[in-house]
Amino acid sequence: MKNPAARFAVQSLGASRIREVANVGIGRADVLPFWFGEPDEVTPAFIRDAAKQALDAGDTFYTHNLGLPQLREAISHYLSALHGPIATERIAVTSSGVSALMLVSQLIVNPGDRVVAVTPLWPNLIEIPKILGAEMVQVPLQFGHTWELDMQRLLDALTPGTRAVYLNSPNNPTGWVITRAQQEVILAHCRRHGIWIMADDVYERLVYDTAGGQACAPSFLDLATPEDRIISANSFSKSWLMTGWRLGWLAAPAGMMADLGKLIEYNTSCAPGFVQRAGIVAVEHGAEIIAHSVTRYQTARDFLYERLNALPRILSPKPKGAMYLFFRVDGERDTLALCKQLVREAGLGLAPGSAFGPEGEGYVRWCFASSLERLDEGARRLARFLEDR
Ligand SMILES: Cc1ncc(COP(=O)(O)O)c(C=O)c1O
C-alpha cells in the first residue's frame, strides 16, 4: 500500500520562506525580528475591554454565518464613508483576512481556472488559489526608480476566459499603490471579459505622502457598481492593531452572499462573538488609532529609508503604502541564504525577497511597524554585518 499523502495540489504548495527564516531564530532573545508583517504595539485597551465585557456577559456561543448584524452594519458605515454606499447585505465577517482570501477563492475559482496575480506578492495570495486547483499566472511589477505596473503586460495576461485577477494595493512587500487611472482601465477590461477582480485591501488605510491627505488608497470599491464582479478583502489586523484576533471581512455583490454564507458555515461557521464585539468598537471608534499608526509608520519609514540607503550595496525605494521597505542588496543572488545568515550571525530577522515570487530575488523585506530605537539597532546590525562580509 502507498504511504498516506495529501492531494497533489497541496503537496505542490510552496512552504513559506518567511517562516523558513523565522524558524532559524524564533524565540531567540538576541534576535530582533522584522520578518513578519505585524505592528509591534498591543491592541488598544478600549478594544480589549469590549472583548472582556462580552466574555463576562457570557458571549461564548455561535453567531450568524455572515457576522453579527451590528458588526456588518458598522463595517457598512465605515466603508461607505470611505468609498461611497456599500450596503450591509454586501458585507460578510470572516475569521481573519487570510480566511477571507480563502473564502473568495472557494467562491469563484474552479479547478484549472486561470488566475492572474500582480507580483511580488505576499505568498498566501499565490498559494491559496492553487489549493483550489487554479493555474496561477504572475505579472511582475517593473523596478525602475520605484515599482511600476506595466499595464499593457497585465491586460495581455487578462485574456478572455481568465477567471480572476488578484491585486493587492498597497502592496505587501513592495509598497506599490495602484492609481485610480490604472483601476479604471483594469475594471473596463475585466467588465468586457467577465473577469473577477479580487482586491486585497488590507493596507488601504496605510498610505503616505498623499497629496490631498487622503485617508485611504484608491480602491475598486470607489468605482464599482454593486453588481460588478469585484470582491474586496479586508482585515482588522493592520488598521486596528489586531493581528492575533483573527478578524476580517469581505465586501461582495449581494447576490453572492447566500453562497458565501454556506462557505463560511463549512469553514469556520462564524467568527467568535466576543471578537466581533471588539471589532464593532474598533470600526466605530478606531479613527484615532489609524491616524496614530499612519504618523508613526511614516516617521519609521523615512528613518529606515535614510539609514538603509546610506549603506553600501543597498538601494531602497520609498514605499507609498503598507509597512515594508523592500530593498535591493547588490550582488546577492540568494536572499534566503542571506536572511538565514543574518539571523544566525547578526541577530537580525528579515524576510527574503524570493518568498514573494522569483522577481523578488535580490531583495529583502523589512517591516518598519516598529519603534525608532529597534529600527536603529536593526540598521546598526545590518551595517556591521555588511562591513564584515
Ligand atoms: C496582503 C495581505 N493580505 C492579507 C493579510 C491577512 O491578514 P490577517 O489574516 O492577519 O487578517 C496580510 C497579512 O499579512 C497581508 O499582508
Spatial contact of 47 and 286, defined as CB atoms under 8 Å apart? yes
Query: Residue 212: its pLDDT value, please?
Result: 63
Closest-lying ligand 1 atom to the alpha carbon of residue 168: 1
Question: CB count, 10 Å around CB of 14?
Answer: 11
- Ordered by where they begin, the domains of the chain are 8-43+288-388 (3.90.1150.10), 60-285 (3.40.640.10)
* Pair 269, 280: CB distance under 8 Å: no
The answer to whether the CB of 202 is under 6 A from ligand 1 is yes
CA 95 to CA 235: how far, in whole Å?
9
pLDDT at position 214 over 70: no
CA of 369 relative to ligand 1 center, distance in Å: 14
219 lines ligand 1 (CB under 6 A): no
> What pLDDT, on the 0 to 100 scale, is given for residue 213?
62
Q: What percent of the chain has pLDDT over 90?
A: 90
In the reported structure, the alpha carbon of residue 174 is separated from the centroid of ligand 1 by a whole-number distance in angstroms of 14
The 10s digit of each residue's pLDDT in 59-110 is 999 999 999 999 999 999 999 999 999 999 999 999 999 999 999 999 999 9
Whole-model pTM? 0.96
37 lines ligand 1 (CB under 6 A): yes
Residues 6+ apart with CB under 8 A from 237: 38, 96, 97, 202, 243, 245, 247, 248
What element of type H or E holds 54? helix 45-56
Residues 274/320, Cβ–Cβ less than 8 Å: no
Residue 384's pLDDT is 95
User: How far is 367 from 78, CA to CA, in rounded Å?
Assistant: 27
Q: Is the pLDDT of residue 3 over 90?
A: no
User: In this structure, are residues 117 and 357 in contact, taking their beta carbons and an 8 Å threshold?
Assistant: no
